[in-house]
Amino acid sequence: MKYKNLGNTDLKVSSLCLGSMQFGWTADEALSLRILSEAYHSGINFIDTANIYSRWAEGNPGGVSERIIGNWLKENKIPREKIVLATKVRGNMGAGKQDEGLSRQHIMKAVEDSLRRLQTDYIDLYQAHWPDDATPIEETLSALDDLVKQGKVRFIGASNYPAWKLMQALWTADKAGLARFDTLQPHFNLVHREEFERDLAEVCHIYQIAVIPYSPLAGGFLTGKYQPNLLPNSARVPGVKQYFTEQNWALLDLMAVIAKRKGAHVSQIALAWLISNPLVASPIIGVNSVEQLKDNLGALKVTLTQEEVHKLDQASRWRAADS
């Protein structure tokens, strides 16, 4: 397993980050605990979660993923310093309007709840899950800065921020002498490039912001299991239909050729493409089985040549200027 510095922080993270949106949703607690242990013993030290995971699932009040991770840390006596633990704040936790957003009041309550569920006294990376237009950025950053000074949070990051809001946050932090966002968690993969590459990539490059992409396999589209005339019986089909284009089918064909040449799987090529990007610290993988985890880990053994990266770039380009 390779390890990288997480932006300007002193955190060293594994080349893949274990996401946990599925914990308590499509993976029950027993399975989630097995996945966590297998990932840890395979060298993954970076775990990403959020306080709202996964409120949308029936019978899930939110906080379930954090609670499972906390139980795993305690039951397995995992040395806390061996894990880089990331969680998020912003979403509605079900107790009315005051229980969401990025106000000081909500952040201060949410962090205590997350610390309790995670059974830890500090969070390595505390992220704003997405912007809050109802709260001044100064208020949000001031609250997060206080948490850093108190030692409850080591570093802060942003998720789902457009470039102008990320720049606004960086400028505000610099002007007021507050903790700044050191990481960005964007939606970024081979078939969803423009959102990140149009403006955010340059911001991250200039200000040395570590990138932690989510949905690296585009909801399963980049695993190769989808074909124009053969669709799997999956609940995810409606969500990935947006990728059913001639360009993307051709991209999958190219990925299959590269994968065969390297003795790899299509999904591993998708992950290897992200890992090859110098801006990317650690793509977030979400798995529902130990077998899926092992398959994703196989991407670490795949090294793409510059020519292969270029061909993938061209096949997935999102504007004529990329050609």
Q: Catalytic residues, which ones?
A: 53
Distance between CA atoms of 70 and 72, rounded to whole angstroms? Answer: 5
What's phi and psi for 88, nearest 5 deg?
-135, 160
Distance between CA atoms of 113 and 50, rounded to whole angstroms? Answer: 11
Class of residue 178 by CB neighbours under 10 A (exposed 0-12, middle 13-18, buried 19+): buried
Position 77, amino acid: K
Distant-in-sequence, close-in-space partners of 28: CB < 8 Å, separation ≥ 6 = none
Q: Which two tokens stand for residue 23?
A: 């914990």
Instruction: Supply angle C-alpha 100, 18, 166, rounded to 5.
Output: 50
Long-range contacts of 254-263 (CB under 8 A, 24+ apart): 254/311, 254/312, 254/315, 255/190, 255/222, 255/224, 255/312, 256/224, 258/304, 258/308, 258/311, 258/312, 259/224, 262/302
Q: What is the DSSP letter of 23?
A: B
Strand ordering across the sheet containing 284-285: 210-211, 181-185, 153-159, 123-128, 84-89, 46-48, 17-19, 284-285
Class of residue 276 by CB neighbours under 10 A (exposed 0-12, middle 13-18, buried 19+): middle
Distant-in-sequence, close-in-space partners of 14: CB < 8 Å, separation ≥ 6 = 1, 2, 3, 43, 44, 45, 46, 282
Q: Which H or E element spans position 57?
A: none
Instruction: Supply angle C-alpha 87, 124, 104, rounded to 5.
Output: 60
What's phi and psi for 128, nearest 5 deg?
-75, 115
